[in-house]
Structure 1
Amino acid sequence: MPLPLSVPDLLDRHRPADDRERADAERVRALLAAGGDPWQRALPLHLTATAVIVHPESRRVLLRRHPRLGSWLLVGGHGDPGETDPLAVVLREGREETALTDLVPWPDGELAHIAVVPVPASDREPAHEHADLRFVLATGTPEAVRPEHPGAELRWAGVDEARGLVVEENVRETLSRVRPLLEG
């Protein structure tokens, strides 16, 4: 596994693809500059880490049905207290949510996309935003996938099929960035 990189290092190494992503990256930088723990869920904008899980051999991606939102999303989520390495967060979350024990950064452990995503209010928390740091992880054992609970269905799909299932434009954009990696 690549050596852990800090969030500022990951941001410095990443080249945003467009003005939207540049603006989102600047919001992440401002969050970091504010001090404190940027992963703290109580903040109206806080860090999260997600990934497109791929099976390179079959050129498929894994989607997870989000129980509360009722839509197909990526795997990942919040850091646990004390976690600061976004790649470690998404690897942990990926293993927890899919039961895939062989997940590895692919092809290189770099950020694939930065997206600030609105999260609607629920009975447990107010509306807020996720400053989502997105990676690509690979598995060699797609048949081993198991949802963490019955409401969190998992589905393998080709990139085009996955883009058709996903309604959130920011997730569709992330999937578009993965297509050339799988085709290359």
Structure 2
Amino acid sequence: MEALAGYEPRTEAEAADVARVRALLGPGGDPWARSTPLHATASALIVHPPTGRALLRWHARQRAWLQVGGHADPGEADPLAVALREGHEETGLDDLVPWPDGGVVHVVVVAVPAGGDEPAHEHADIRFLLATGTPEAARPEKPGAELRWLSIVDAQAATSEPNVRETLARAGRLLG
């Protein structure tokens, strides 16, 4: 994944996660293969720069307010493209663009609890920021997947996940 080629982790914990993600990229493997206990995912925090707000989505399986994102579809290999597709699917926003420059903003390995016939596993999540100019157009993809536009501070208070709070903090610094 070229997206990680020049990425520099900001903390020791993130450095360990980046090392695990880079190990997934070794020869002969598919980092996106859902059949492995650790596999790549891509996500994005959607922001509305004029108001400094971020969009969070309720994820029932994790029982938490999180960013949008998920797994690559067959044939996908670009994490930014995955984040853009997932962002559109989960919010209905059709004007999403990489912001401010399309670079990776955070890399984190996240534990995912077992659900249905899927065992517990880990996501090697590669995170981006996406911007919209039409926040009022956001619509949940399904019942129970509520969306909320919040200030960075309110979004940090709403999520129970420290790694999402860190992604929000990084977005907040960029939003000014």
TM-score class, shorter: over 0.9
Output the CA distance in 2 between the equivalents of 1:58 and 1:94.
19
Q: Is 1:71 aligned to residue 64 of structure 2?
A: yes
Answer yes or no: is the 8 Å Cα contact 2:3–2:79 preserved in 1: no
> What secondary structure is seen at the aligned counterpart in 1 of 2:32?
coil
> Where does structure 1 lack aligned partners over 5 or more consecutive residues?
1-6
How many angstroms does 1:34 deviate by? 5.3
**Aligned 1:145-164 pairs, distance under 5 A:** 145-164=138-157
Output the CA distance in 1 between the equivalents of 2:57 and 2:69.
9
CA RMSD of aligned residues (A): 0.9
Q: Which residue of 2 aligns with 1:15?
A: 8
Q: Is 1:43 aligned to residue 40 of structure 2?
A: no
Q: Is 1:176 aligned to residue 169 of structure 2?
A: yes
Identity in percent: 62
> Where does structure 2 lack aligned partners over 5 or more consecutive residues?
none
How many angstroms does 1:124 deviate by? 2.1
Q: TM-score, normalised by structure 2?
A: 0.98
Q: TM-score, normalised by structure 1?
A: 0.93
Query: For each residue in 1:125-159, what CA deviation from the matched residue of structure 2 results, as whole angstroms up to 9, or x when unmatched?
Result: 00100000000000000000000001100000000
Counterpart of 1:119 (choices 93, 112, 123) is 112
Where does structure 1 differ by over 3 angstroms across 4 or more consecutive aligned residues?
Answer: none
Number of positions where the alignment pairs a residue of Structure 1 with one of Structure 2: 176
Q: Which residue of 1 aligns with 2:54?
A: 61
The amino acid across from 2:157 in the alignment is G
Output the CA distance in 2 between the equivalents of 1:56 and 1:134.
17
Answer yes or no: is the 8 Å Cα contact 2:24–2:30 preserved in 1: no
Q: Which residue of 1 aligns with 2:86?
A: 93
> Is 63-72 or 93-102 further displaced after alignment?
63-72
Output the CA distance in 2 between the equivalents of 1:158 and 1:48.
25
